[in-house]
Amino acid sequence: MKFGVIRRMSSSFSRALDLLPPSLNWVNNDFYTGSGKGLDVINKATGGVVMTSASASDADVHNAVQSAHAAYQKFRDMPAAERGQLLLKAATLLEERTADFAHLETLDTGKPFYESEMDVGTGVDALRFIGGIVQNYHGNHYDLGGNFAYTSREPLGVIGGIGPWNYPLQTACWKIAPALACGNSLVYKCSEYTPLSTVALAALLKEAGLPAGVLNIVAGDGSVGAALTSHPDVSKLSFTGSVPTGKRIMSKASDSLKKVTLELGGKSPLIIFDDVDMKNAVSTAMLANFFSQGAVCSNGTRVFVHRSILQEFTSQLVERTKKLKIGNPMEDGVKVGATICKMQYDKILNYLDIARKEGAEVLCGGGPVTPDNPDLAGGLYIAPTVLGNCTDDMTVVKEEVFGPVLSILVFDTEEEVIRRANDTPFGLAAAVCTQNLSRAYRVISKLEAGSCNINTFNAYPAVIPFGGYKNSGIGRELGEECLNYYSQTKSVYVETGDPWCPFE
């Protein structure tokens, strides 16, 4: 697996194939041959198998945890400034190899190459931000009039990370950076659908100077995650994925009182008021729905549009959505790539069938697409879809589709739309489009969501925390706040004189 600074090879997967690793598991700073069942890595654009590697077994997970536990005993004592410098070096290396990692990410996820480049960039940002602030992350001193007390932040131990298939590299960076910055070691389970960039990241961190055993990667399906979740030497679990899986992980973690961070699903509202710049409002709706073939947990799939501008907004949105180029994700100009797997493909199409039956109107898209290129015949492609005539009680409006499906809902008053926007068990994200900033601040303050935007969507820079309310999760990624979830507080009281004691 040899990385170098290269330029993109347009319309070709040859560079990604050159970068395939010898194994999908990484233990003790080396590729590790698992003893689990075979795991096929699929080129999502073509449907072809590009490599097969053994996944991790329960015994392999145990070995990875033991490696992490042994490494933790020394790594926790590395000064925070040195851990930060290690992450900063890794950020520089990753940035230099953006094209290589983007090739792997596009092969693995099916998303357009330009999106994969963006995902590498957000991973770099996380490593760089966390690496830059950790040496100033500390406890407090309390003057008690002669005596004093202080607090310190200490690592938790071995962290178990479980990543999703839609943003494999970005999410790995979001979890690995704070875990290592705080002095923990980590065993990270990448998705069985998208394992490539995560194991490549582990090799890069070794090059940056990460000691052996501090980061370990195990690949495989839910059984691998279950083994990691139940392991007695894992102190905390950080999971990104679906609400049902997150609840199962939390339930299992409670058996041993493991700490948990959960970044789960959403059904986020985007509210378009009548005073918007129409082009920008349409752009925001597209940003909220069509990245990564719609597989974004924070997507604003419930688009509430003021009645007075409904016709104009819908016309412009449909016109622009129809122009989105679908096809080979390595080609310039392609905006929509391939769906991750047959199960997800069928799930999205089923939601569209239900939407039609329940009265939604398909304004554009609404089904499969067969690209002209015969090489892509084995890929699974769905046209970006805009649904009109939607109501709050429709299945497609209430449940997370995780596909390129935008539902338009009409509203009349501010109070009404706030109530309807909050009428969901989810609370990951929300956004408001308006030129009236007083109204923007007022409405945002009343929306029950953890990660909000005004006049854009899905903008989450590394400096601010990301996470949700209600069923959308527990804890936060990014921002300085994320370090609180990868460390624990020790309180120390210091008696400088004779201790007070009433006992003779």
Catalytic residue IDs? 263, 297
* Distance, CA of 401 to CA of 386 (rounded, Å): 13
Among 137, 136, 139, 162, smallest CA distance to 151 is for: 139
- Retrieve residue 232's tokens: 């007695």
- Retrieve residue 162's tokens: 């479980």
Do the Cβ atoms of 451 and 266 come closer than 8 Å? no
CA gyration radius, the chain: 24
CA count, 13 A, side-chain hemisphere, 424: 34
- Retrieve residue 12's tokens: 């070709």
Amino acid occupying residue 141: H
Do the Cβ atoms of 337 and 293 come closer than 8 Å? yes
CA 235, distance to chain mean position in Å, is 21
Strand ranges (E), 145-258 = 147-155, 158-162, 185-190, 215-219, 234-240
One-character DSSP codes across 28-84: SSSEE---S-EEEEEETTTTEEEEEEE---HHHHHHHHHHHHHHHHHHTTS-HHHHH
Do the Cβ atoms of 190 and 198 come closer than 8 Å? yes
Report the DSSP beta bridge partners of residue 262: 239, 474
- Retrieve residue 455's tokens: 């006049």
Do the Cβ atoms of 163 and 192 come closer than 8 Å? no
Other CB atoms within a 10 A radius of the CB of residue 503 amount to 3
- Retrieve residue 388's tokens: 């009109």
CA distances from 34 to 60, 69, 322 (A): 6, 19, 45
